[in-house]
Chain A
Amino acid sequence: MAKQYETVIGLEVHVELATRTKIFCGCSTRFGAKPNTQTCPVCAGFPGALPVLNKKVLEYALSAGLALNCEVNRYSRFDRKNYFYPDNPQNYQISQLYLPICHDGWVEIDTGAGKKKIRIHEIHMEEDAGKLIHDEWGECSLVDFNRSGVPLIEIVSEPDMRSADEVIAYLEKLRDILQYLKVSDCKLQEGSMRADVNLSVREVGSETFGVRTEMKNLNSFKAIAHAVEGERERQIELLEEGKAVLQETRRWDENKESSRPMRSKEDAKDYRYFPDPDLPPVTVSEEWLNKLRESRPMLREERKQVFAEQYGLTEYDASVLTASVHMAALFEETAKRCGNGRRAAAWLMGEAMRLMKEDGLEPSELSLSPENLARLIRLEEEGRITPHSAKRVFAAMVREGADPDHYIEENGLAVVRDEAALEEAVRQVLAANPGSVEEFRGGKEKVFSFLMGQVMRQMKGKADAGQVREMLQAHLGQTEKKL
């Protein structure tokens, strides 16, 4: 009988913190600027320049640590990790090895078999490196230091995961927490969340771990899931053939759905870590920690519960709306303003998501103000706009940032409440269609909707349907009596 194998997975997750400025200087962290326009002597590693810690970075790292149930090192330090590479202007990276800011935490994930705790070994702060751009035509490499010095935290898990599903569940959980804390936007495509997968396999029942590999270059959840499956199979195959798994770093190629070993550094890695003498030790006071604990924003689970209880949403709706912190905030702000949570949810889960899909937008890119949406819902409730027009207004709000009142006025979309005008329209329609009136009287009720349509057309679609129905019925009755 074939051997049964178990996959053992631990993750190193790098998260770019959403600070406005870099970790050790005042340069902007904005993504996508022209190369080397967001640099200074500090982040470009010039001689004589010195790092000064951005306090916001420490605050974000602590917030993350507290939300991930970590212990905080009240006395922490930065260390230099020495290695030569051109994306790293000092040829050392300022990181934390000996006394990281947080350690020994956990998160709970949902798995097919119920809830499971994944332990967190440590969280440390560090600076990101620059970006190398290889110019194949010019036979040279160029360096962009805009990313150099962008703050990162690295969240190192214990080897507690056993499948790709668990890995994805863990990453989604981390992303939810960090997004709700507003410490990172966690965009895998832009590299603001990056995961390295440490994986080994062992026979079911074995107490010892197998030899593990580290997989890099995983840019999406899909790639991570593929890499976990691929690496598991590769290692099992090796073991089945009686070969050894080598401890190495491998690079995943999502297009080929396979990995290959990364070019090994010429010498064995010895980073010669030592405390950075340019940065004094970091001390964290109990008062500060308490303040952070008290001011922690609601996380997804709590938010879901509030949405269900306070705004009467179904669990499903609450779950969909809280999948993105931006959507959740938009919903809550709107619901607070208009007092109609269900209507707000209907708009966001219906039209908003349809338009986002059409335009290829992320929730964070949706420019819709809760004030405008609340106003639209109010106008709808008051019957001052027809559902058909409301959709037009909504699209204009999303795509053009239109103000609902202005847009309705400019485009003449307001429901006409003028009874005299409506009565006149009804009279004209009935007078112009004596045959239809005859048929209706003869019991052909279908004709009523035809007459409704005629009145609406006469009113250019701006009449309230209920009002039209009422008046039409009244007039048809009257004609009957008269006749």
Chain B
Amino acid sequence: MEIWEMTALALGQSIRAGKISSEEAVKACLERAKQVETDVHAFVHLDGERAIQAARAADRGIREGRYDSPLAGVPVAVKDNLCTEGMPTTCCSRILEQFVPPYTAEAVKRLTDAGAVILGKTNMDEFAMGSTTETSCFGPTKNPWDVSRAPGGSSGGSCAAVAAGECAAALGSDTGGSIRQPASWCGVTGIKPTYGAVSRYGLIAYGSSLDQVGPIGRDTADCAALLGLLVGRDPKDATSAVPGAHQSMDSFLKYAPTSSETGEAGGEVAARGLRVGIPEAFLGEGTEPGVQAAIREAAERLKAMGATVEPCSLGLEEYVIPAYYVIASAEASSNLERFDGVKYGFRADQEESDLHGMYKRSRSQGFGPEVKRRILLGTFVLSAGYYDAYYLKALKVRALVRQAFDRVFERYDVLLAPAAPSTAVPLGESLADPLKMYLGDIDTVAVNLAGLPGLSLPWGLDGQGLPVGLQLMGNRFREDLVFRAAFACEAARGPWKEVWKREGGISDGKTV
């Protein structure tokens, strides 16, 4: 097996055991990236020299026994909306081009403190606004399973990089599905944690009350280990949860397969007695048959392994998309005000000398159309006379969605649903119809509105050979149950066939 094919935990173990150095691991990923980046374009900033230096430092640290984490020395990629000191952080927006932050995001710092090595920054929809990574000012990332298709978004770069073997794992962010949906389309595993579980300090905000940083990996165990490093109170983020609310990496990994218990036998321990609800509305009209079939198949397998599986209903499904877009856009319209050409990032050439002219030109030229659309929408819903009708009403829907989940989680440990109504769409398709793109978030936004954890893992391939994911939703700070269910699903599914194991690999995608 090539080094770059290994999971993060397996790689970490080999590095700790001295079989592989971090430097070798990093070089293997860089080499792999060299092969596939022209097709995939997952990275927007890749500094090999810096990564190798960091890997050497990690190797020294490991020899000196400075790390006790299972991921020391492992190469990871970071979404370009997480600040990295001394490394460009642009949100893939022209308005932040060449912005180099003076500090590092808490989530990134927790990874590097554990010895992980940052390879570079990954592509994303501009300011995380989009579902295909096509609104990036650097051009789209392509789906490694079919490079004529989108990887999903907005964490499309991170998910594609993991899927293509360019890094062992990655960080993404999820405001309305931006980890789960691209994970589903790229055939990787990703989790949006409970709101407040991971510090948002240094995450460039889109919708502050919805944003969460989360890990993306090749399997559930990698995500569980990474999340174990990320969670915990951060005094720099007032919305981070109080100490005590957080769970440990051990609780996340409790049902991880061991060598003696693999496959369905191991999964049965995790599945037995698990109460699984299937919100029927998530399988309704507009969901592709291939996606529906995957969910029903997974449900049957879980049942066979000893879980109780029942249909359930949340209600309110028709309100979640509008409520989400009102709240996220309102917050975004304010969060993005600081990008004005005055302090950092892009400033338009000054034809007009007055201040407001400079603002207008810089913002007009600096932001792309989707970002402008959401700023306009958000500005509108917060305007005098509309605040009550839109923003306050959306907050009421949000409160009701929370209550609905609270009721459902009295009866179920997890909910099983799709992470997206379709598999990967052809490039260009969703840009032509923004409303359709917004409606594609139907399966993911409810979790963000309610602040719950949601995980997406690959289940199989649809008729076109594209990955189909499962989404598992849990109650607040019950990531342990979400991971337990994910381990059960993995066991029921069997080993995942990575894209490079497929005949033809990535470059063959066009012909599938």
Contact = CB atoms under 8 A, between A and B. Distances in A.
Nearest to B91: A47
Interface string A264-296: 001000101110011110000000000000000
Contact of B238 (A46, A50, A86, A270): A50
A45 interface: yes
Interface of B: 81-83, 89, 91, 96, 99, 101-103, 105, 200-205, 207-209, 235-239, 330-331, 333-334, 337-340, 342-344, 355-356, 359, 379, 382-384, 387, 391
A196 to B, nearest CB: 22
20 contacts: A41-B102, A46-B103, A47-B89, A47-B99, A47-B204, A48-B203, A48-B205, A50-B237, A50-B238, A84-B340, A84-B356, A84-B359, A86-B342, A91-B338, A270-B383, A274-B387, A274-B391, A278-B205, A278-B208, A280-B238
Contacts of A41: 101-103
B204 A48 contact: yes
B239 A280 contact: yes
Given A48-B203, A50-B200, 18 more contacts: A41-B102, A46-B103, A47-B89, A47-B339, A48-B82, A52-B235, A53-B238, A82-B333, A84-B340, A84-B356, A86-B340, A86-B355, A90-B338, A91-B337, A92-B337, A272-B382, A273-B382, A278-B238
Interface in A1-56: 41, 44-53
B343 A44 contact: yes
Contacts of B330: 274
B329 to A, nearest CB: 12
A70 B82 CA distance: 43
Interface string A449-470: 0000000000000000000000
Interface string A127-149: 00000000000000001000000
Given A48-B201, A50-B236, A272 B383 contact: yes
A89 interface: yes
A52 B236 contact: yes
A279 B236 CA distance: 11
Interface in A165-203: none
Interface residues of A, number: 29
B238 A279 contact: yes
A53 B235 CA distance: 10
A375 B359 CA distance: 64
Contacts of B344: 46-47
Interface in A48-77: 48-53
Nearest to B356: A266
Given A82-B337, A270-B383, A278-B208, A89 B343 contact: yes
Contacts of B379: 272
B338 A47 contact: yes
A47 B337 CA distance: 11
B201 A50 contact: yes
A212 interface: no
Contacts of A86: 340, 342, 355
A401 to B, nearest CB: 40
A48 B355 CA distance: 25
A84 B340 CA distance: 8
B147 to A, nearest CB: 31
Contacts of A278: 205, 208, 238-239
Contacts of B205: 47-48, 278
A266 B354 CA distance: 12
A124 interface: no
A-B interface, 3 closest residue pairs, ranked by CB to CB distance from nearest: A91-B337, A277-B209, A272-B382
A26 B359 CA distance: 30
Contacts of B356: 84, 266
Interface string A399-428: 000000000000000000000000000000
A126 B141 CA distance: 43
Contacts of A90: 337-338
Contacts of A272: 333-334, 379, 382-384, 387
Nearest to B385: A270
A45 B343 contact: yes
Contacts of A280: 238-239
A80 interface: yes
A89 B344 CA distance: 11
Contacts of A50: 200-201, 236-239
Nearest to A80: B334
B203 A46 contact: no
A47 B96 contact: yes
Contacts of A48: 81-83, 89, 101, 105, 201-205
Nearest to A25: B236
Given A80-B334, A82-B337, A272-B334, A46 B235 contact: no
Among B99, B203, B239, the one with the most A-chain Cβ atoms within 10 Å of its Cβ is: B239
A422 B124 CA distance: 97
Nearest to B127: A47
A280 B202 CA distance: 18
Contacts of B202: 48-49
Contacts of B334: 80, 82, 92, 272, 274
Nearest to B240: A50
Contacts of A82: 333-334, 337, 382
Of A48, A51, A89, A279, most buried by chain B (CB within 10 Å of CB) is A48
A44 B101 CA distance: 12
Nearest to A87: B342
Contacts of B239: 50, 277-280
Interface in A335-390: none
Given A52-B236, A90-B337, A91-B338, A47 B101 contact: yes
Nearest to A45: B338
A125 B380 CA distance: 27
Contacts of B81: 48
B331 A277 contact: yes
A89 B340 CA distance: 9
A278 B99 CA distance: 23
B101 A52 contact: no
B248 to A, nearest CB: 24
A45 to B, nearest CB: 5
A51 B237 CA distance: 7
A143 B343 CA distance: 9
Nearest to B330: A274
A14 B77 CA distance: 47
Contacts of A91: 337-338, 340
A153 to B, nearest CB: 20
Contact of B83 (A47, A80, A92, A279): A47
Contacts of A49: 103, 201-202
Contacts of B208: 277-278
A309 B482 CA distance: 72
Contacts of B201: 48-50
Nearest to A90: B338
A197 B207 CA distance: 38
B205 to A, nearest CB: 7
A424 to B, nearest CB: 77
Contacts of A279: 238-239
A341 to B, nearest CB: 48
A49 B204 CA distance: 8
A92 B378 CA distance: 14
A52 B356 CA distance: 30
A137 B231 CA distance: 52
A394 B391 CA distance: 66
Contacts of B333: 82, 272
Given A47-B101, A50-B238, A52-B235, A84 B83 contact: no
B135 to A, nearest CB: 18
A304 B224 CA distance: 66
A38 to B, nearest CB: 15
A51 B205 CA distance: 13
A280 B82 CA distance: 22
